[in-house]
Structure formats: C-alpha cells, structure tokens
Amino acid sequence: MKKCFTLLEIIIVIFLITLITGAIGYSMKGTLDKGKVFRTEQAIEQLKDLFLMCVAEGESPDDIIRDPESILKKYALAKNPKKIIEDGWGEKFQIAYLKRQKEFAITSDNLTKYNSKRKQQPQDTVDDE
C-alpha cells in the first residue's frame, strides 16, 4: 500500500519549518549585532595603539588621519590594513587627533547608533524576592 501526503500536511510542515527558521533568525540577529559591536570596540583599541606607534616612529598625526590604510601598510603593523580601519558593519572609522591629550579619537557612527538604541530599550528587571 502506497502512502501519500496530502496538500494540507505539506503546507503544515512548510509552515512549521518557516516558523522555526524565523525564530532562530530573530534570536541570531542580536548575537550578530553583539559580534559587530565587539569587533568594532576591539578594532578601535588596536587602532589607537597602532597609530600611537606610528607617531612614535615619527609619522605626523595629520598624515595618519588623511590616509590611515597606507600608513599601516608602510609600517606593516596590521595583517589587513583595509579591514582594520572598518567597523563591524563595514563602514570606515572617523579618526581625529586630540593634540592636548596626545591621543587619537576613533569613532563609529554605527556603534554610536547601536549604543543609543540599546539605551532607549527598557531593560529587563528581576525582582529579588
């Protein structure tokens, strides 16, 4: 005897697969964003150190700000200079030099947006009863 699936059974299976996939995708979005934030924060710290090393070698901060990729290539300080000057979302960092503090200020618009969006969301609270 041959067993066949009805159209209704196939539609139910497709619906369940879609529902499960959607739930997994939704929960992974937060994880992916956290990964981008982590990569961006780590890149900022690394770039600050690398740029200060370039200044110590005699490079002008203005030259570093103007073309950071070529400076990193020149000193061979990064494995992939083009990638390290981008945040986790693939956008280039904004780089400035603070003369008084003698340090670089490196920012990411995407990181700023992400952090401000997180601050606006209500935090889950747990009552300790």
Per-residue pLDDT of the chain (129 residues; tens, 9 = 90+): 667 778 888 999 999 999 999 888 887 777 888 899 999 999 999 999 999 999 999 999 999 999 999 999 998 888 899 999 999 999 999 999 999 999 999 999 999 999 998 887 765 544 444
pLDDT of residue 4: 77
> What distance lies between CA 32 and its chain's CA centroid?
8
- Amino acid at site 59: E
DSSP state letters, the chain: ------HHHHHHHHHHHHHHHHHHHHHHHHHHHHHHHHHHHHHHHHHHHHHHHHHHTT--HHHHHH-HHHHHHHHT--S-HHHHTB-TTSPBPEEEEETTTTEEEEE-HHHHHHHHHHHHSPPP-----
pLDDT of residue 6: 87
